[in-house]
Structure 1
Amino acid sequence: MNPSFAADLMERARDKGPVTIGLVGAGQMGTDLIVQIALMQGIRIGAVAVRSRPQNAISAALSAGHRPDELVEVANASAIDRAIETGRIAITTDLEALAAAGRIEVIIDATGHPESGAIVAEAAIRHGKHIVMLNVEADITIGRHFKAEAEKAGVIYTGAAGDEPAAALELVCFARALGMTVVAAGKGKNNALNFDAVPDDYVAEATARDMNPRVLVEFVDGSKTMVEMVALANATGLEPDKPGLHGPRASKEELAEVLIPVSHGGVLSKRGCVDYTIGKGVAPGVFCVVEPNHQRVLERMTDLHVGKGPFFTLHRPYHLTSLETPLTAARAVLYGTADLQPLDHPVAETAAVAKRDLAPGTVLGRIGEYDYRGWSMRWADARRERLLPLGLAERARVTKPIRKGELLSHDNCAVDDSLTIVRLRRQLDLADQRFLKADAA
């Protein structure tokens, strides 16, 4: 963290006004963002775009302490600009208007929906806006496309601080900067793990936690963990060691004895993997298991009570999800930097696996519902088997019988060609095919 960051935000506000954010989505994460940004100096919400319920955004803004007269519903970009110029927050159902508004500097996608994320990012970059994706599902599917498009447009495409991939990346970069070998990196799983979870069984818990049952199930059935670990893999080059990851019941103290190579008594086939644990003391944090490359360093880390060695666990005991995300937006504007970006060529993929038997003709629902869940694996293996990326599964039609536990693929499902995310992923796949042919030659 830049020690002058807070001072830089205040200086920016004094000289040019606060960094002005356009937010898309006013669900749980969007509401958190509206509240958090209201508490910060040097940064503000300029406009909020919602698909169909402006009252959700209005309620979120009121809960953050904004007065009713500070909020105005608008229908076009010029009206958004006028609202911002008079110190108000514009509420709109027109995403294109938000993206086109000249006073908006950076857009945060807080929809958590793959197709929505694709549409938001495409509009943001087309209108020359930085884009922060609090939407890992979209990022792992087509993030590389938007990274390249943003570079052409001279803007920043970035994942969000506060999500586990960005938090774990901090530890990975720290370890690599110190010349240590990264053996494994990942997260502690926050919710109970139940691969068979469906929304009907989690209505009471979701209501108590002010969540949508489908969103809660995306966490419980493992999909979110698989997505997050693929995002970390594709930002670092670390790979899933096996399909579905190991997910051991390793406590914080045990990580450096478990997520290490088999040759040293652990479960990994090699160094350099992503994984998660359901053991105690890790969640809601992230970790990085490292190996010092000199005896003197090993002795010092032991002396400093980091662990017993020869492997050590670096642990960040928290991630603040959407509460940290405004920092990413501000850094994109102030410094032109990204907190999380995919590499040019992926190493991991989140495929979709059936949660129940699926008959031909079935049109698949959303992540966290009844039909499928996420499954992490190596990108090359997923590509060879023509597996269906998780972010393309919604609205796909089943073309052959699929048994529970079977992976969805382009051979047993037909994707919805009308979706933006399908179109953009096809472009990526074609580019990857050209790269693979050139590499083989």
Structure 2
Amino acid sequence: MNPSFAADLTERARQKGPITVGLVGAGQMGTDLIVQIALMQGLRIGAICVRSRPQNAIAAALSAGHRPDELVEVSNTSAIDRAIEAGRIAITTDLAAFAAAGRIEVVIDATGHPETGAHVALAAIRNGKHMVMLNVEADITIGRYLKAEAEKAGVIYTGAAGDEPAAAVELVAFARALGMTVVAAGKGKNNAVDFDAVPDDYVAEAEARDMNPRMLVEFVDGSKTMVEMVALANATGLVPDKPGMHGPRASRDELAEVLCPASHGGVLSRRGVVDYTIGKGVAPGVFCIVEPNHPRVLERMTDLHVGKGPFFTLHRPYHLTSLETPLTAARAVLYGTADMQPLDHPVAEAAARAKRDLEPGTVLGRIGEYDYRGWSMRWAEASKARLLPIGLAERARVTRPIRKGDLLSHDNCAVDDSLTIVKLRRDLDEADQRFLDADAA
């Protein structure tokens, strides 16, 4: 963290006014963002865009301490800009008008919906706004396309601080800067694992936690973990060691002895992987298993009680989810930097795996519902098998019988060609194949 960051935000507010953030989505993550930004110096929410139900955005803003007279429902770009200029928060259901508003400097997508994320990011970037993607599902599907579009437009496309992938990227970058070998990086899983979870079984828990049951199930059935670790892989070049990863029950103190090469008593077939643990003391944090490359460094780390060696666990014991995301928005505007970006070519994929038997003609629902869950793999293997990325599964139609546990593919499912994210991903896949063919030649 830049030690002058807070001072820079204050100075920016003094000279030009606070950074104006446009937010898409007013669910759990969006509400957190509205509250958090209201508590910070140097940033403000200028506009909130929701697909429907403006009352949700109003309720979120009121819970953050904004007065009713500070909120105004609008339907066009000029009205959004006038509201922002008057120090109010514009609330709209019109994404095109929202993205075109000249007073918005940076957009945060907090919807968690792949197709919506594609529309939001394209609209923001094409209107010259920095784009913070708090929507890992969209990022792993078309993030590298959006990054390229942002570069052409002279703006920043970035993943969000506070999400586990970006938090783990910090540790990986730290270790690599010190010249250490990164053996493994990942997260502690926050929820108990139930691969067969469906929303009907989690209604009560979701209500108690102020969550949507579908969103809770996305965490419980492992989809979110698979998606997040694929995002980490595609930002760092680390890969899943095996399909689905290992997911050991390794505690904080055991990690470096378990997520290390098999030649040293661990479970890994290689160094340089992403994984997760369900052991105690790691969640809600992230970790990076490192290997020093000189006996003196190993001696010092042992002396400093980092671990016993020869592998050591760097552990960040928290991630603050959407509460940290405003920092990413501020860095994009102040410094023109990204906290996390996908590599130009992917190394991992989150495929879709059937949660139940699926008959031909079935139209698939959303992530976290009844039909499928995420499954991490190396990109080359998933591509060769024509597997269906989880970000493209919604509204796909089953064309052949699929048994529970089978992987969905372009051979047993037909994607919805009307979706923007499907069209963009097809272009990416064709470009990736040309790259592989040229590399092989």
- Regarding TM over 0.5, the answer is yes
Q: Which amino acid aligns with 1:41?
A: Q
Aligned to 2:312: 312
In the other structure, the counterpart of 1:153 is 153
Aligned partner of 2:419: which letter? L
- CA–CA distance in 2 between the matches of 1:382 and 1:412? 14
* Equivalence map 1:54-133=2 (5 Å): 54-133=54-133
Within 5 Å, which residues of 2 pair with 1:1-80? 1-80=1-80
Residue equivalent to 1:237:
237
Matches of 1:14 and 1:368, distance apart in 2: 44
Match for 1:195: what amino acid? F
Supply the AA of the counterpart residue of 1:151: E
SS of 1:3's partner is coil
- How high is the sequence identity, in percent, across the aligned residues? 88
Structure 1, gaps ≥5 residues long: none
Q: Deviations over 1:97-150 (max 9, x none)?
A: 111000000000000000000010010111111000000000000000000000
Matched ranges for 1:168-317 at <5 A: 168-317=168-317
Structure 1 position 433, deviation (Å) = 1.4
- The code of the aligned residue for 1:147 comes to K
Local SS of the residue matching 2:282: coil
Q: Secondary structure at the match of 2:326?
A: helix
Which 5+ residue runs of structure 2 have no aligned equivalent? none
Superposition pairs of residues 345-360 of structure 1, within 5 angstroms: 345-360=345-360
Per-residue CA deviation, residues 320-359 of structure 1 (Å, 9 max, x unaligned), is 0000000000000000000010000110000000000000
* Equivalent residue number for residue 432 of structure 1: 432
Which one-letter code corresponds to 1:378 in the other structure?
R
**TM-score, with normalisation over the residues of structure 2?**
1.00
- For residues 231-275 of structure 1, what are the alpha-carbon distances to aligned partners after superposition, in whole Å with 9 as ceiling and x for unaligned? 000000000000000000000000000000000000000000000
Q: Secondary structure at the match of 1:174?
A: helix
> Partner of 1:391 in structure 2?
391
Q: Give the aligned residue type for 2:341.
A: Q
Shift of 1:93: 0.3
With normalisation by structure 1, the TM-score equals: 1.00
Aligned to 2:330: 330
* Alpha-carbon separation, structure 1, partners of 2:202 and 2:276: 23
CA–CA distance in 1 between the matches of 2:153 and 2:210?
38
Does 2:379 match 1:382? no
CA displacement at 1:66 relative to structure 2: 0.2
Higher mean alpha-carbon deviation, 348-357 vs 425-434, is at 425-434
Residue-pair matches, total: 441
Q: CA deviation at 1:430?
A: 1.1
Q: Post-superposition shift, 1:437?
A: 1.3
Matched position secondary structure for 2:300: helix
Alpha-carbon offset, residue 377 of structure 1: 0.4
Distance in 2 (CA, whole Å) between partners of 1:430 and 1:175 is 34
Aligned counterparts of 1:361 and 1:278: Cα–Cα separation in 2? 37
- In structure 1, the partner of 2:363 is 363
SS of the aligned residue for 2:30 comes to helix
